[in-house]
Amino acid sequence: MGDVVTIGDFSRMTHLSVKTLRYYHQVALLVPVEIDADSGYRYYDIAQVPTAQVIRRFRDLDMPVDEVREVLAAPDVATRNQLISLHLERIERQLDQTQSAVTSLRNLLEGSEVPLTVEHRSMNQIPVLAIGESVSRDELGSWWSAAFGELRQAIRNNDCVVVGPPGGLYETDLFLHERGDALVYLPIQSEVNPAVPSGGRLQVMNLPESELAIMTHVGPHEDIDLTYGALGSYVTTHALGIEGPVHERYLICEFDTSDASQWRTEIGWPIFQTVP
């Protein structure tokens, strides 16, 4: 053990505040090499300075304390680098998201008016290959991607034909609270019955019949609340909304083009059928 210094000196060396250092001790992120039993004084080894600096860099990047601890505890360089890369990817995704939020805000403020048309449609029962689960809003995005990945893989493995655009049903709990049932599907031919591995989350089922008011959203999913708002306003003024999951159909989506401005998403809001 090398030279030890007080918390104040260590603070000056690392530019971490004393309060921060005490907190890091409390959560066992950075533990002083020695604690005086009588006074409770913390003493740090100057060899801990580089560790403290690494911690500061990760916290500057908003990496949660728990993850920083994992990175520091990583048994080998490979594991450590993997954890770091994961976080850097997350940062990059966040930068992308911020960028598109800025764009989206500018669009909203410049108020590009798109004429919106609503269609009433009766959805028949259709056979689908589906995955349904309870998810939280945070994880919805990654769940969505993973679920469609699995669905498409199953289609390929079964030599099955997809007969329409992908879609999803989302329980209102997902909006009311932060968690609810979601189901994504690919429509399939009724005569074909793909072998679904039992025990997995894949299922072959029929989509329930429903009456929907439908509006098509153009552009990235970031902005989908704009169309939801317009459709909701329409329904309260011109139709009779009822309980039930909202229905989305991805006419053009990330599987078709990476240019998000080209995407088209049909949104179906359940209504009471007034025009038979």
Partner DNA sequence: TTGCTCCTCACGTCACGTGAGGTGGC
In terms of CB distance, is 61 or 123 closer to its own copies?
A: 61
The dihedrals phi and psi of 233, each to the nearest 5 degrees, come to -60, -45
Question: What is the DSSP track for 195-215?
Answer: -PPTTSSEEEEEEPPEEEEEE
| List of residues contacting its own copies (CB under 8 A) | 3, 5, 8-15, 17-19, 46, 49-50, 52-54, 56-58, 60-61, 84, 88, 91, 95, 97-98, 101-102, 104-105, 108-109, 137, 172, 175-178, 224-226, 228-233, 236-237, 241, 246
Give which of DNA, its own copies, none residue 66 binds (C-beta under 5 to 8 Å, depending on kind). Answer: DNA
Give which of its own copies, DNA, none residue 102 binds (C-beta under 5 to 8 Å, depending on kind). Answer: its own copies
Whether the Cβ atoms of residue 214 and residue 120 lie closer than 8 Å to each other: yes
Residue of 47, 50, 57, 64 that binds DNA (CB under 7 A): 64
Q: Using alpha carbons only, give the angle 208, 214, 218 rounded to the nearest 5 degrees.
A: 125
Helices (H) and strands (E) in the chain, counts: 8, 11
In terms of CB distance, is 84 or 196 closer to its own copies?
A: 84
Question: In a 10 Å sphere around its CB, with 0-12 CB exposed, 13-18 middle and 19+ buried, how is residue 257 labelled?
Answer: exposed
In terms of CB distance, is 194 or 232 closer to its own copies?
A: 232
Residue of 4, 51, 59, 221 that binds DNA (CB under 7 A): 59
Q: Any alpha helices (H) in 16-169, and if so which ranges? A: 18-26, 49-60, 65-73, 77-110, 137-157
Tally the residues of the chain. Answer: 276
Give which of its own copies, DNA, none residue 23 binds (C-beta under 5 to 8 Å, depending on kind). Answer: DNA
Site for DNA, rule CB under 7 A: 6-9, 11, 17-20, 22-24, 27, 36, 38-42, 59, 64-66, 136, 172, 176-179, 243
